[in-house]
Structure 1
Amino acid sequence: MMYAQFASVYDELMLDIPYPAYVDLVDIALHGLSGKKILDVACGTGILSVLLAERGADVTGIDLSEEMLAVAVSRANERFPSLKFSQQAMQRLDVSGRYDAAVIPIDSLNYLENELEVTQTFISIHDVLLPGGLLLFDVHSTFKTDELFMESPFTYVSDNISYIWETEEGEEPHSVQSELAFFVREEDGRYSRFDEVHYQRTFPIMKYVELLEQTGFTVERIFADWSDEAPELESERIFFQVRK
């Protein structure tokens, strides 16, 4: 997956994501954010990192994409130059110190291709958390990968960006391959095109619970779709709040 051009349109594509609600979830779970050390895993362009910093958290963001991190650094430098960002994989964290919490937001965990990589990620995060430390993450439900994604093609049109998004079932259970064609308006009014291929895979809820417990986490609660309600058959986004 090439991120150089995707990073330039990412923020607009994420406009419907209620990032402040994610901040509230972490704030409530930690009984306040001021002074807390938080690891933002797969931080992308730093939207959540900056919002957490606004609430007084000491944030470190990591992401695999150099281009995404460049946008994150630019965003943070305006107000929070002390924010730290590092290019690395979530399965093999290399960070200093211990953290009060880690977040893996907006289905980023679903970019891992197999159970082993998910387990490695849980282990690497468990290792850098303080005792009692929080891990909060969300994933696609199996209903979303198996049913909703199969309703493609999807389209998006704005003043500056348009895309056509086609999906097909992946080779593994509950996986999906997405092919996106982006059309971006240039300053002279012409449109340039670039293409992206994204592969995502999720697992049933109880498989995540099994892997978390094997890693040493205690599951505090599981909820769905930005609400405090338990997941249902047609829930789309599943949240896990767990402790070391």
Structure 2
Amino acid sequence: MYEGWAAVYDAWMADLDYEGWVRMARAAMERLCPGGRTVVDLACGTGNVSLPLAELGYQVCGLDGSADMLDLATRKARRRGLAIPFVRQDLRTFQLHRPVDLAVCAIDGVNYLTDLEDVEKFFRRVHENLRPGGVFVFDISSAYKLEHILANQFYGWDEDEGACLWFNEYDCESRILTLELLFFIKEGELYRKVPETQRQRAHKVEELVPRLRKAGFASVEVCGDGQKAPEADEERIYFIAQRM
């Protein structure tokens, strides 16, 4: 996933609020784990959360399953004079050299775990790789968003870097949204065609909170945009969990 079109990812996803995400994660760290300095960015992509956290003085490492995304993140970090290790690992089995104070997983990383057993494996790995008192911050695209906004929709755009055709199909029984994407990446006077299929699950809060507690997180906070309790039509939901 994300192989072949990582180079245009940042340009095409520029509207995502990474700055707001970093502010929220930093605030959670300062409130719940004051003095914490080490961070793992899970499903880090091209480093849009890793880099600003490192520039704030945190010691950061980034993990992702896409070699192309990690390569781009590494090059971006070097250009900004940052020494951030970006490593290819699976969210369900990852292992750090030493526990960290903060784990973050931004912009739908958990949605891509389409089996609840895999979600449980991921939560256990996060818990085991956090220090006592450490904090885990992640978000999901809400079930409302996948079921009522993205389901069975077609999108397309044409930009300087290339073009994209995007069709979604939602299965109500499995609650899985299948994203069929066809990218046309401009290379000189020609275009390279890159097909990709992604799948996200419409996780619900009442499914995830018990699994966080089962993994060992004693404290779990859930909020929507504006750090308030999620509304019924909330599109993005945030979780802040702490290992005691």
* Matched residue type, 2:16: I
Q: Which residue of 1 aligns with 2:233?
A: 234
Inter-partner Cα distance in structure 1 for 2:70 and 2:95: 16
CA contact (8 A) 2:36 2:102 kept: no
Q: Which residue of 2 aligns with 1:22?
A: 21
Report deviation, 1:230.
Answer: 1.3
Q: Which residue of 1 aligns with 2:54?
A: 53
TM-score scaled by length of structure 1? 0.93
Inter-partner Cα distance in structure 2 for 1:75 and 1:160: 18
* Matched residue type, 1:140: S
* Matched residue type, 1:23: V
1:158 aligns with 2:169: no
CA contact (8 A) 2:103 2:130 kept: yes
Q: What are the ranges of 5 or more consecutive residues in structure 2 without an aligned counterpart?
A: none
Q: Which residue of 1 aligns with 2:215?
A: 215
Inter-partner Cα distance in structure 2 for 1:135 and 1:172: 30
Inter-partner Cα distance in structure 1 for 2:173 and 2:9: 27
Note closer, same or farther for the CA distance 1:131–1:35 as it changes in structure 2 (3 Å cut).
closer
* Matched residue type, 1:202: A
Secondary structure of the residue aligned to 1:38 is: strand
Inter-partner Cα distance in structure 2 for 1:68 and 1:144: 25
Offset from partner CA, 1:196-233 (integer Å, 9 cap, x none): 111111321111011001111134421113x2121111
Q: Which residue of 2 aligns with 1:195?
A: 195
Report deviation, 1:54.
Answer: 0.7
Runs of 4 or more above 4 Å deviation:
32-35
Q: What are the ranges of 5 or more consecutive residues in structure 1 without an aligned counterpart?
A: none
Report deviation, 1:151.
Answer: 4.7
Inter-partner Cα distance in structure 2 for 1:78 and 1:137: 27
Within-5 A mapping of 1:62-101 = 62-101=63-102
Aligned residues: 241
Q: Which residue of 2 aligns with 1:205?
A: 205
Report deviation, 1:161.
Answer: 2.5
1:149 aligns with 2:150: yes
Secondary structure of the residue aligned to 2:92 is: helix
Q: Which residue of 1 aligns with 2:138?
A: 137
CA contact (8 A) 2:39 2:61 kept: yes
CA contact (8 A) 1:34 1:57 kept: no
Report deviation, 1:158.
Answer: 1.8
TM-score scaled by length of structure 2? 0.93
Offset from partner CA, 1:65-109 (integer Å, 9 cap, x none): 111111111111123442111110011112111101000100011
* Matched residue type, 2:167: E
Aligned CA-pair RMSD: 1.8
Offset from partner CA, 1:146-169 (integer Å, 9 cap, x none): 111125101222222221110112
CA contact (8 A) 1:145 1:176 kept: yes
* Matched residue type, 2:26: D
